Chains A and B, each alone.
Chain A
Amino acid sequence: MSRIGVFVCHCGENISATVNCQKVAETASGYEGVVHSVDYKYMCSDPGQTLIKQAIKDKNLTGVVVAACSPRMHEPTFRKACNEGGLNPFMCEMANLREHCSWVHDKGDLTTEKAIDVVRTQVEKVKRNQPLTDIKVPVTKTALVIGGGIAGIQTSLDIANCGHKVILIEKDPSIGGHMSQLSETFPTLDCSQCILTPRMVEVAQHPNITLYTYAELESLDGFIGNFTAKIRKKAKSIDEKLCTGCGLCTTKCPTKKIPSEFNEGLGFRPAVYVPFPQAVPNIPVIDRINCTYYIKGKCKVCEKVCPTKAIVFDQEDEIIEVAVGAIVVATGFGIKQPDFFPEYGYGKYPDVITGMQFERLASASGPTFGEIKRPSDGQVPKKIVFIACAGSRDEAKGIPYCSKICCMYTAKHAMLYQHKVHGGESTVFYMDIRAAGKNYEEFVRRAIEEDTVKYVRGRVSRVYEKNGKLIVKGVDTLLGAMPVEIEADMVVLATAGVANPGAEELAQKLHISYDGYKFFAESHPKLKPIETNTGGIMVAGACQSIRDIPESVSMASGAAVKVACLFSQNELTREPLIAVVNRCAAPLYSTCVGCFLCQSACPYQAIEREEIKDRSGKLIKSIAKVNPGLCQGCGTCVAFCRSRSIDIQGYTHDQVYNEVMALLNEY
């Protein structure tokens, strides 16, 4: 016979302002099986919890219903209290009177009636609860970091320095990411590569870090603490063990005119190449799409010149399977190609360039060795226009958000231009200047005041060419929307930052969620900005939303701490709310007919095959079996099972049915 205790919480006034808590408690006390029913101002407080513990002891309760808030926050609190009171923690249920009732309805009898109904469902449910015990799973203390930009580098180093193994994979031939392409960094104007490359080298030399470049995640199985990742190491066509990085192949390669990705198409690279001189690892790859040998079947110049015979033309992609316990996704961002801006003429006029291209022009390692020269004729531009918000904050272009870093890098670009081109004239068209950050506003003021960059508040409507000049037609909204026309030599677009092109596919492989812009979604916007909704997978850096370097680095260190916390225990405790396939007496053994449609429906690959055999070893029946380590308790299999052979512990058919019936007032 059930002996249920009902505890109605006022949540200060959050619930009691609209719900008559006293009446709820009184009504509940009349239900069959309810032997104790009280209301209290704060059930989650220490005295509130003591009420529950005491009642369990005094009234010998077999089940507890706490009618309070959403279980998200306080279910663990109350389960713990029940446990301390001597009751199995899973004999406690929460009726959500706050989010599901008081916060969404006005004060009134109907609201109280709904609260009573909600409590009733949980009373009926808890009567059918079974005591459950937590599941323990081991933890593999190796982390997988996806993406070798500054975020991935930082998080790898931090995890490795905590003493854990790290596997870092990077899709490009070198780690470094966008930061390696930057000229100088705001707000201090220190050289990007000079501060980055020591970190890159540290990654390569760290005994705890295994680095796979030119590698991508092929698939991921498993769950927190116990993932199995398949990594596709794309064929570099180079034997990494033999290659000394002498670079002879890259200088002798006859195919030299391939637009360099690293230089944003402003320079060229050969078909066998190292993306940039400081690359880590300093091992070239052969770009099979452009290599003459792969196109025409002959050439092999690189093979002839290689002193260590490291060129392997028939190398194949290699799939490496690794066991990892946690994953940090640090895949960074992409840049919206401004060709969706026909009015600014990108692609049509060679001297309309993107911010990233300007970085390469201003970089000492760039195609012009740091001199600002026009891509069209190599002349130094005397007049330059920067257009901020090229795509960002533009709902019509599908990017309503602020790309955040553009205000700062545009100020930096204008400043660098003024430093490099004496007597040059630079104008920035902006919507607002967003310079919130340590020393950021001061930096922008310096550009305006000391470096005489002209800031015009207004948008540019059109850029077109006339007599070899780029005519920029805009408006100055601070001068009563006065039209402004500038004859510029070069135009730089601060194009919007967007999610990486492969972000959606990767998210699906990882089973993590993403937002409408394909940025990876954090678990909670304020309190869990690093975790994803999938246990054991964190995000760091600009793959979650556009971030600058200091933010990416702090987030990466945060992710490393999350991983280190996870790895600090030898075992993880998991809730036992998982699916179970029923078993019954012979000759049925289970109502499962072994159709295994649940197997393909399961998003976590948690369903296995179990063979029931007789004593002589003869197969009687194959049925489904749920791996308790992999199951997340989502219930998809339950919905799929026609013969109702699967139940979720804690949410069985019997419990849910009786909840529904209680709601329909069938009792």
Chain B
Amino acid sequence: MDELKKRAKELLETGAVKVVIGYEQGTGNKTRAAFIQKPEEVSRLIFDSRCVLNLAVYLNKPEVKQIGKPAIVAPIPVLRAIIQLASENQFTDDNLLILGITPESKFVEFNKLADVETYLDQHLIEIEARDKEILEKLDKMSVEERWNFWVEELSPCFKCYACRAACPMCYCHRCTVEMNQPQWISVPSHQLGNIEWHFMRAMHLAGRCVDCNACANACPIAIPLNLLTKKTLEEIKVSFGGYKPTLTGGHIMSTFKPNDKENFIR
């Protein structure tokens, strides 16, 4: 951590970056995002197991962009999000510095996005055993039971869109739910509106979700939203051999490969 702080200070002092995006102590026992712009403020930076927010979400915000070149504190999920966003043309090597943090909480700096991609090969997405168990349980349910499960889980949602705000992949300038000519997705948070919103969001994340759980962590009423995206990850594994963010490999859902299975076409 000291190493990271030292490097952050250096970067701000030399003007190599204009802002360091990291974690700091929030209110209560919570952590929050810190946007350090002065070298003397780097002492605010912290990193521990409570830091579950995916900081990559800020990279695309116009308010952050206008500060200037950022350096970002990046544990594994943030690294994954960075590669996925880069593959979606959201930034290049020149406009980002990455202060990586290994699963052992060691500091590692990346000079190039390609190095991050190589590094991530050793850290492939693995769905946790606990979640796997729930997914299996859901799979075993009848269609009706599963429907009822989701109706029940999603019914308390009041569409605060915290899930969207926390998700680094939800960076559209105008979300489809806000498109009202026509209004495909119902806005009110009734049963249909909630189901449409969450299912649509899961579909939009298929092949892009980096499994950071930021959406579920952000949900004020703890809806297990991430189960939906985890299911898409599982499906992709079965159909296309698994997802990993890649700079050049193309989007897994839109890139045709001759050896893709076509067994869904009958």
* A-to-B contact residues, CB < 8 Å: 505, 508, 588, 591, 593-598, 600-601, 603, 622, 640, 642-644, 653-654, 657-658
Q: What is the distance, in angstroms, from B186's C-beta to the closest C-beta of chain A?
A: 12
* B175 / chain A contacts, CB cutoff of 8 Å: 643
B173 touching A594, Cβ below 8 Å: no
B258 touching A508, Cβ below 8 Å: yes
B172 touching A600, Cβ below 8 Å: no
Nearest-CB residue, chain B, relative to A655: B182
B174 touching A591, Cβ below 8 Å: yes
The reply to whether the CB of B38 lies closer than 8 angstroms to some CB of chain A is no
The reply to whether the CB of B89 lies closer than 8 angstroms to some CB of chain A is yes
B179 touching A600, Cβ below 8 Å: no
B172 touching A642, Cβ below 8 Å: yes
Nearest-CB residue, chain A, relative to B203: A642
* A643 / chain B contacts, CB cutoff of 8 Å: 172-176, 179
B88 touching A595, Cβ below 8 Å: yes
A644 touching B179, Cβ below 8 Å: yes
A597 touching B251, Cβ below 8 Å: yes
Interface range for B: 20 to 34
Q: List 16 A-B contacts (CB under 8 A).
A: A591-B174, A591-B179, A593-B171, A593-B172, A594-B90, A596-B89, A601-B253, A603-B256, A622-B89, A640-B253, A640-B254, A642-B172, A643-B172, A643-B173, A654-B181, A657-B182
* A597 / chain B contacts, CB cutoff of 8 Å: 88, 251, 253-254
A595 touching B254, Cβ below 8 Å: no
Q: What is the distance, in angstroms, from A586's C-beta to the closest C-beta of chain B?
A: 12
* A508 / chain B contacts, CB cutoff of 8 Å: 258
The reply to whether the CB of B44 lies closer than 8 angstroms to some CB of chain A is no
Cα–Cα distance between A654 and B180 once the two chains are bound (Å) = 10
Q: Interface 1/0s, chain B 223-266, versus A by CB < 8 A?
A: 00000000000000000000000000011011110100000000
Nearest-CB residue, chain B, relative to A601: B254
B251 touching A642, Cβ below 8 Å: no
Q: What is the distance, in angstroms, from B175's C-beta to the closest C-beta of chain A?
A: 7
Cα–Cα distance between A657 and B179 once the two chains are bound (Å) = 13
* B182 / chain A contacts, CB cutoff of 8 Å: 653-654, 657-658
Nearest-CB residue, chain B, relative to A592: B173
Selected from B90, B184, B204, B255, the residue in CB contact (under 8 A) with A600 is B255
Nearest-CB residue, chain A, relative to B208: A597
Residues 84-142 (chain B) with a chain A CB within 8 angstroms:
88-90
Q: What is the distance, in angstroms, from A625's C-beta to the closest C-beta of chain B?
A: 14
A591 touching B173, Cβ below 8 Å: yes
Nearest-CB residue, chain B, relative to A636: B254
Nearest-CB residue, chain A, relative to B175: A643
Cα–Cα distance between A641 and B60 once the two chains are bound (Å) = 18
Nearest-CB residue, chain A, relative to B204: A642
Nearest-CB residue, chain A, relative to B255: A600
A596 touching B173, Cβ below 8 Å: no
* B172 / chain A contacts, CB cutoff of 8 Å: 591, 593, 642-643
* B174 / chain A contacts, CB cutoff of 8 Å: 588, 591, 643
Nearest-CB residue, chain B, relative to A658: B182
A653 touching B258, Cβ below 8 Å: no
* B179 / chain A contacts, CB cutoff of 8 Å: 591, 643-644, 653
B173 touching A593, Cβ below 8 Å: yes
Cα–Cα distance between A205 and B173 once the two chains are bound (Å) = 61
Cα–Cα distance between A596 and B250 once the two chains are bound (Å) = 10
* B250 / chain A contacts, CB cutoff of 8 Å: 600
Cα–Cα distance between A643 and B174 once the two chains are bound (Å) = 6
Given contacts A597-B251, A600-B255, contact A657 B184 (CB under 8 A): yes
* B254 / chain A contacts, CB cutoff of 8 Å: 597-598, 600-601, 640
Nearest-CB residue, chain A, relative to B205: A642
* B184 / chain A contacts, CB cutoff of 8 Å: 644, 653, 657
Interface centre among B171, B181, B254 (most CB of A within 10 A): B254
Q: Interface 1/0s, chain B 195-209, versus A by CB < 8 A?
A: 000000000100000
* B255 / chain A contacts, CB cutoff of 8 Å: 600
* B258 / chain A contacts, CB cutoff of 8 Å: 505, 508
B89 touching A642, Cβ below 8 Å: no
A596 touching B88, Cβ below 8 Å: yes
* A593 / chain B contacts, CB cutoff of 8 Å: 90, 171-173
Interface centre among B90, B173, B256, B258 (most CB of A within 10 A): B173
Nearest-CB residue, chain A, relative to B184: A657
Q: What is the distance, in angstroms, from A314's C-beta to the closest C-beta of chain B?
A: 30
Nearest-CB residue, chain A, relative to B182: A657
* B176 / chain A contacts, CB cutoff of 8 Å: 642-644
Cα–Cα distance between A595 and B254 once the two chains are bound (Å) = 12
* B204 / chain A contacts, CB cutoff of 8 Å: 642
Nearest-CB residue, chain B, relative to A584: B174
Cα–Cα distance between A510 and B64 once the two chains are bound (Å) = 46
Cα–Cα distance between A595 and B174 once the two chains are bound (Å) = 14
Residues 41-80 (chain B) with a chain A CB within 8 angstroms:
none
Q: What is the distance, in angstroms, from B187's C-beta to the closest C-beta of chain A?
A: 15
* B251 / chain A contacts, CB cutoff of 8 Å: 597, 600-601
Interface centre among A591, A597, A622 (most CB of B within 10 A): A597
B173 touching A595, Cβ below 8 Å: no
Known: A595-B88, A596-B89, A654-B182. 9 other contacts (CB 8 A): A591-B172, A591-B179, A593-B173, A595-B89, A595-B90, A597-B253, A600-B251, A643-B175, A644-B179
